[in-house]
Amino acid sequence: MSPVRLGVLGCSAIARRRSLPAAAEVPELVTTAVASRTREKAERFAAEFGATATDYESLVSDPDIDAIYLSLPNSLHHEWTRRALDAGKHVLCEKPLTGSAAATRELTALADEKRLVLRENFAFLHHPVHDHVRRLLDQGRIGPLRTFTATFGIPPLPGEDIRYSAELGGGALLDVGVYPLRAALLLLGPSLSLVGATLRMDASSNVDVAGNVLLTADSGVFANLEFGFEHSYRARYALWGGTAWLGLDRAFTPPPQHQPVLRIEEQDYAEEIVLPPAHQFRTSLGSFAQAVQQRTPEEKRWVAAADALAALVDEVRERAVRVEAA
């Protein structure tokens, strides 16, 4: 099959450092054009990745582009994903897909109607370590699962960072909090109920800078999720079962050369399972390209997960107890 011709909408840091270098290593993809708010930035990106510089409107309407990789500020995700779908383009959108469940459902329904691939780019989902964790659970390695915990925290950001802008869809919940939530959906299934939530608010920016969420699954498993960007770095999850505990560090953002280590602890025994490194951004982009080429039925599960995540985020924001940051 011919490579998928990719248009890049938004010249973000994640696009430059992770996604576009990974796309260059995917044979099924060719980066064709890059659009930014400023011509100068688009030209810098285009020169670096062998593409043509253009503007938003021209990129979306270009008949020589098959798919859009979208990495704009959160507040623009809904509008430009909708425009891309309306123009017949497949879309890989950086998380979160939108800022609300209603807006997400609108986009997933539109993609289904037009038979287009629409994915939310959680690269960690494409790392094989999580399949290994699932196999261990299914084999009963830790006994009946009782509790799932997940944490994603990063140090404070520069004051001018867009993640401190309420108008641009900033805040810790949409930036780092969605990772533990998405991991809970991955490992516990879609039937999750919110028990309680707390968000710590920064008065000067009016965005949440940290949070804690407690969920229960239909199976009775508890999920305790923590996140924020006022912490030392931590990205991990753990599963506590009836006979053992299983933990994974660097769960969400491992570099390509990182060898994941699964630690299993029992009362009088511990072991570590070291797995091969994997390039999760390259795998995510490759999976997207193959989905565009093959239109596989499994796309429905990606769409359903996006809807479920957006519904959880909505509920957290509506019901969370808010406290002011010190």
Annotation marks residue 95 as catalytic: yes
Q: How far apart are CA 8 and CA 71, in angstroms?
A: 8
CA distances in angstroms from 124 to 179, 278, 285, 316, listed in the order given = 9, 10, 12, 22
Helix (H, G, I), strand (E, B) or coil at 74: helix
Residue among 213, 253, 259 at smallest CA distance from 233: 253
Q: Which residue out of 41, 89, 95, 300 is catalytically annotated?
A: 95
Token reading at 292: 């565009």
Order the strands of the 261-266 sheet from edge to edge: 269-274, 261-266, 245-249, 234-241, 145-153, 222-228, 207-217, 192-202, 321-324
Question: How are the residues of the chain apportioned to helix, strand and coil, as percentages rounded to the nearest 5?
Answer: 40, 30, 30
Phi-psi region of 139 (alpha: psi -120 to 50; beta: other; left: phi over 0): alpha
Residues tagged active-site: 95
